[in-house]
Amino acid sequence: MSTPADRALGGWTADKERSNLWMLRLMRWFAVAAGRPVARWALHPITLYFLLVNGRARRASLNYLVHVLGRPTRWVDAYRHIHCFASTILDRVYFLQERFDQFEVTDRGGAALHAQLAQGEGVMLVGAHIGSFEALRATAHGRGVPIAMLMYEENARLINATLAAIAPKAQLHTIALGKPGAMLQLRRWLDAGGLAGLLADRTLPGQSGGIAGPSQDSAPPSGGGRREASVGGSRSGSRTSWLDFLGQPARFSDGPFRLAALLRRRVVFMAGLYQGGNRYELRFVELADFRDSADTGGQDLDARVQDAMQRYVTLLETLCRESPYNWFNFFDFWATDAADRPAPR
């Protein structure tokens, strides 16, 4: 299931029947022919149209903004939120076409990451639907660092079709999780010193969104806080926990962190926050180092995985409060309406 925002604005997770590749090609043509300053003006009527006709996403936006802003919200808040999302969608065209000269991209915490890469050490990046992941290409391109995106097989097929429409010459490597040989492909990619990124803020409907092996889910806690599945000692099975996020329990899967532990890799949080105009700021924060996970077993490894996931959620919450309009999950994230639960990207 794709989110309303993804379908309306040509996002990565559009269903096969709704992919509308011709519209994406038209977007690309207009963005390139008109140039970024003119194309940005066109975002205002697009945002207004989306705000008026997509009530479901509008309500989800307002609900999220109440959580993050801590005050009653108005349509102007949702307009700002959707316009920020539309801006990053437009900029994807330019990032994927490697027109980096149009942007001012800074980074915080990147020195440690680049030092690891300089030693030939591949790193797993764990991000979220906040800001723009494509902004990472601006800093990686100049350093010659290869980047791969990890995603589920069907989404990998759809994103490749979308990329062909937006930037036919873009070289974006994807590794389809769940396919035979995917783990070996990922291991080789990391061994060669590459970056592998995935977004960890969504789970499969009715499942934990596990990456490797069986999954277990827990019931949502009634009084906030955290409750996790009572499964112990599994190195490959992922779990879903209900963790406090912006004052209300939400579901998060530990699958990305168990995958890193299985491959014995560092895990670095990455976000490309949109700062307005042509400015992006990359954030890098190390969440965990599983290079010695072979020496850690059972409950000790479970505890380290849970700690990494909790750090991820805490950091994500901090960035949402810092840059509230950069959060791009236009559905009921707290799953009060089961029909709104999204598919992962």
Q: What is the pLDDT of residue 31?
A: 83
Which whole-number Å values give the CA distances from 117 to 122, 243, 282, in the listed order?
6, 32, 16
How buried is 55 (Cβ within 10 angstroms: 0-12 exposed, 13-18 middle, 19+ buried)? exposed
pLDDT recorded at residue 65: 97
Extract the runs of DSSP E, i.e. beta strands, from the chain.
Answer: 104-108, 123-127, 147-152, 173-177, 195-199, 215-216, 227-228, 238-245, 248-253, 266-274, 279-289
pTM score, two decimals?
A: 0.81
φ, ψ dihedrals at 125, nearest 5°: -100, 135
For residue range 192-213, list pLDDT tens digits in order. 999 999 999 987 544 433 343 3
Query: What pLDDT does residue 290 have?
Result: 92
State the pLDDT at residue 210. 39
pLDDT in tens, 292-319: 876 666 678 889 999 999 999 999 999 9
Q: How confident is the model at residue 214 (pLDDT cuts 50, 70, 90)?
A: very low
48: amino acid identity, one letter: L
Q: How far apart are CA 345 and CA 343, in angstroms?
A: 7
How far is CA 158 from its chain centroid?
16
Q: What's the pLDDT score for residue 208?
A: 39
